[in-house]
Amino acid sequence: MTAAIGVRPLRAFMARDHVCVLPAEEDVRWAAPPAEALLGLDGRLLHITAAGSDYDCVTRSFGPKLAVYQAPVCGSGHCRVIPYWAEATGRHRLRALQASKRTGELFCRLEGGRLFIAGEAVLFAESVLHLPQLD
């Protein structure tokens, strides 16, 4: 992980994805992990995070295994990151910044084991599903 990210994480967690807590916000903002190095890590995605100066946490998410080098704003990543920060801060309402090129501000609330995320969104796609008729 250290070789891939370029910074030694303070903490690292693994479930479906890797979550690495870095020492400083700048470590998250300036990380430029090579996609090839990320392909060698276990898990589907890599989420890096640190405490923020203007936000409770700053995060970036990388997923070259899913053909996405870096997610602009990753809701599933925050489902992994916010419970960590809620426990670390003792707070269940957190403001997060996804520090990707496009950036995104997320308002998160952890309640009853569920995470609620709010913020501005951009319509990416619109679909209509046609279900087969059941006899």
Residue of 121 and 105 predicted with greater confidence = 105
Residue 130 inside a domain? The answer is no
Residue 74 inside a domain? The answer is yes
Residue 37 inside a domain? The answer is yes
* pLDDT surpassing 90 at residue 102: no
Provide the pLDDT confidence category of residue 125 given band limits of 50, 70 and 90.
confident
Residue 76 inside a domain? The answer is yes
Strand-pair category, 114-118 with 104-111: antiparallel
Residues of the domain holding 55:
2-118
Residue 126 inside a domain? The answer is no
Please report, for the domain that includes residue 51, its CATH number.
3.10.310.10
pTM score, whole prediction:
0.87
Q: What is the mean pLDDT of residues 2-27?
A: 95
Q: Which residue type occupies 54?
A: D
Residue 32 inside a domain? The answer is yes
DSSP per position, 40-88: TSSSS-EEEEEE-SSSSEEEEEEEGGGTEEE-SS-HHHHHHHHHHHHHH
Provide the pLDDT confidence category of residue 74 given band limits of 50, 70 and 90.
confident
* pLDDT surpassing 90 at residue 129: no
Residue 125 inside a domain? The answer is no
Domain total for the chain? 1
Residue 135 inside a domain? The answer is no
Helix (H, G, I), strand (E, B) or coil at 22: coil
